Amino acid sequence: MKQKQHGFWDDVKKYRSLLLMLVPAVLFFLLFAYIPMSGIILAFKQYDYTGGVFGSPWNGWDNFKFFFNSGDAWRVTRNTALYNIAFIVVNNVVQIFAAILLFEVAGKWFRKITQTVLFLPYFISWVVVGAIAYNLFNFDVGTINVLLKGLGMQPVDIYNTAAYWPVILVVVSAWKTLGYGTIMYLAAITSIDTEMYEAAEIDGANIFQRIMKITVPNLMPTVIILVLLAIGNVFRGDFGMFYNMVGNNGLLFSSTDVIDTFVFRSLTTSNEIGMSAAAGFYQSLLGFVTIMLANYAVRKYDKDRALF
Amino acid sequence: MILSIIGYVTLTVLAIFCIFPFILVVSSSLSEESTIIEKGFQIFPSSFSTEAYSLLFKYPEEMLRAYGITISVTAIGTLFGLFLTSMTAYVLSRRDFKWRGRFSFFFFFTTLFSGGLVPWYLMIVNYLHLKDTLLVLILPLLMNVFYIIVMKSFMSSIPDAITESAKIDGAGDFRIFMQLIVPLSKPALATIGLFIALAYWNDWYNALLFISKSELMPLQYYLYKMLGNMDGMRKAMMASGAVVNTDLPTESLKMAMTIVATGPILLAYPFIQKYFVTGLTIGAVKG
């Protein structure tokens, strides 16, 4: 005797309208994320146009060997990680600093105006940032060199000197994200219980003590979570930033080439599809491992904040 | 007292640091070319000229076409993106939906691991055949897992009772979404809509990869092209009927183009900024 079970197809029927509503999103992520994932086999193939992704002959680990023996692998990995670590440290410190100042000293209208101005760079494209950089750093007519010449000093050839770029890129990143982060931290500070401040004031705490003993410790959970989540992306470069700031300037590669620009260049300029697929696969793996580690750390710290 | 003076001074310095480059670009775009060549880009221009702008607007066809592309892509993309994002988020926010966890992970996993640039590129060019189409500027930015998650957490805060009672009244899931959930989610829709619109407006990357026809160039990519290639600018101007035999004021023209391409964002910015702030604040507090 058979008993009718509550099966899979009954659920499909039950949720058919909800499932139907998910169809576009599922299709989207299949087409633009999941099916391309299968393309990682390209990293192990000698790509040719007639064969395509699946018809091209295998060549084992050759693409990886080529990538790691080229001398670029170490350089781009190091640059990507170091830039992101510098961005995380500098951006968060400046943002927290600005948020505390806005909260502590600024009057209402001053706070509003400052917030608006600080947020401005967030809204413009990296192309426009590139144009601004050109305006500042150009050898002949750039503002910085105009100032240096005005002071009787030698102009500096910024676009041809690799050593300047780590500083420039860190400053630009801080500049572009300042408003966004400041608002996030300001929101976190505003949600701190005001009674704590009142009690501290009654006890005669000065502004420094208030900041160090109340604001900063209460911000730490937010900071730690945001930093851990950012660490998960330490091997992902901001392509728009690097590409618009330095473009394909080979003279600067030693200090500006990151995995993303390297992969892009190998794909579009030198057309080394197999090798750039291998480098992309390598980046995805590094990213996956760091996200897992960061998530593990978040989970240890605060279970509710973990990604999964 | 001294502390607040230090605070005000520091914040003012930070604010100047943020706005200074913009002022520099504006004043450069309004300088005479000869002054720039001679003295460089200056904060307070020692000459004034609107020549760069009048040149830009004399033969505006290319620029206007780029504007048209960007505006249509932004409008279509934001509309569909917002609709699909919120619809997906609604299903994932339904606590009675048995597979919500599985589908959430299906979407979320794409942020953990990807095939990388090359397979994605080949998929779009060789298999979907989207190169040099308007669709390639719209589709890749249509949905973003982060926006779905933000929207989902907002919708989760809408009481279940609303969905329940509507169901008892015989409303279907889609109708509940359109007639009840969407109106209740206006703050989240405004915020995410602005984020999507900004991403479309500032996009140049998809054009860099997939657009080679000049008539499909969006604004930012057009600007990118012109900044790197003033010869292209010259050709474009000649093609649109200009007689350009003398030197173009390239430096001030570059800056004027930057201003024109940024213009709408800068003009709309003070008005939309507060929605961003509200949205970010909601997101930060809720975590």
Distance CA B222, CA B119 (A): 26
* A34 in B contact zone (CB under 8 Å): yes
Q: Please report which confidence band the pLDDT of residue B263 belongs to, taking 50, 70 and 90 as the band edges.
A: confident
- Inter-residue contact A245 to B75 (CB < 8 Å): no
Instruction: Report the residue count for chain B.
Output: 287
Question: Does A21 contact B261 at a Cβ distance shorter than 8 Å?
Answer: no
Q: Please report which confidence band the pLDDT of residue B110 belongs to, taking 50, 70 and 90 as the band edges.
A: very high
Residue owning tokens 């499932």: A19
- Inter-residue contact A25 to B90 (CB < 8 Å): no
Nearest Cβ partner for B128 among A31, A178, A304: A31
Rounded to two decimals, the pTM is 0.91
pLDDT over threshold 90, residue A1: no
Q: What percent of chain A has pLDDT over 70?
A: 98
Distance CA A254, CA A128 (A): 25
Question: Does A288 contact B204 at a Cβ distance shorter than 8 Å?
Answer: no
Q: Please report which confidence band the pLDDT of residue A2 belongs to, taking 50, 70 and 90 as the band edges.
A: low
- pLDDT for position B243: 52
User: Could you tell me which chain B residue has the CA closest to the CA of A178?
Assistant: B18
- Cα angle for residues A224, A226, A229 (degrees, 5° grid): 105
- pLDDT for position A271: 85
Q: How many CB atoms lie within 10 A of CB B47?
A: 14
Question: Euclidean distance between the first and final Cα of chain B, in Å?
Answer: 35
Q: What percent of chain B has pLDDT over 70?
A: 92
- pLDDT for position A255: 92
Residue B68 tokens read as 């048209």
Instruction: Provide the shortest C-alpha distance from residue A269 to chain B (in Å).
Output: 12
As a whole number, mean pLDDT of residues A273-284 equals: 94
Quote the distance between the C-alpha of residue A246 and its chain's center: 17
Instruction: Provide the shortest C-alpha distance from residue B58 to chain A (in Å).
Output: 22
* Stronger pLDDT, B98 or A3, i.e. the higher one: B98
Distance CA B228, CA B235 (A): 14
Strands (E), chain B: none
Query: What phi, psi does B96 have (nearest 5°)?
Result: -85, 0
* Stronger pLDDT, B160 or B41, i.e. the higher one: B160
Task: Give Rg (Cα) of chain B.
Answer: 24
User: Could you tell me which chain A residue has the CA closest to the CA of B208?
Assistant: A268
User: Could you tell me which chain B residue has the CA closest to the CA of A232?
Assistant: B112
* Stronger pLDDT, B207 or B261, i.e. the higher one: B207
B133 CB-near residues (< 8 Å, 6+ apart): B216
Residue A47 falls in which region: left (phi positive, over 0), alpha (psi -120 to 50) or beta: beta
* B177 in A contact zone (CB under 8 Å): yes
* A155 in B contact zone (CB under 8 Å): no
- pLDDT for position B48: 87
Q: Please report which confidence band the pLDDT of residue B286 belongs to, taking 50, 70 and 90 as the band edges.
A: very low
pLDDT over threshold 50, residue A10: yes
- pLDDT for position A224: 87
pLDDT over threshold 80, residue B82: yes
As a whole number, mean pLDDT of residues B51-75 equals: 89
As a whole number, mean pLDDT of residues A40-55 equals: 87
Residue A88 tokens read as 């995380």
As a whole number, mean pLDDT of residues B23-34 equals: 88
As a whole number, mean pLDDT of residues B2-22 equals: 91
SS3 A88: helix
Q: How many CB atoms lie within 10 A of CB B2?
A: 6
- pLDDT for position B287: 41
Window from A100-114, A263-277, B95-109, B246-260 with minimum mean pLDDT = B246-260
- Cα angle for residues B82, B87, B90 (degrees, 5° grid): 125
Instruction: Provide the shortest C-alpha distance from residue B71 to chain A (in Å).
Output: 15
Nearest Cβ partner for A146 among B40, B257, B277: B40
- pLDDT for position A55: 86
Q: What tens digit of pLDDT does each residue of B230-250 get?
A: 656 656 665 655 555 456 778
Distance CA B56, CA B35 (A): 19
Beta-carbon pairs below 8 A across chains A and B? 274
| Average predicted confidence (pLDDT) for chain B | 88
Nearest to A130 by CA among B71, B261, B206, B138: B261
**Residue A188 corresponds to which amino acid?**
A
Q: What tens digit of pLDDT does each residue of B116-173 get?
A: 999 999 999 999 999 999 999 999 999 999 999 989 988 998 999 999 999 999 999 9
- pLDDT for position B284: 53
Question: Does B173 contact A128 at a Cβ distance shorter than 8 Å?
Answer: no
Distance CA A245, CA A240 (A): 8
Q: What tens digit of pLDDT does each residue of A170-226 get?
A: 999 999 999 999 998 998 898 888 899 899 989 988 888 889 999 999 998 888 888
Q: What tens digit of pLDDT does each residue of A73-83 get?
A: 999 999 999 99
As a whole number, mean pLDDT of residues B200-215 equals: 94
| Average predicted confidence (pLDDT) for chain A | 90
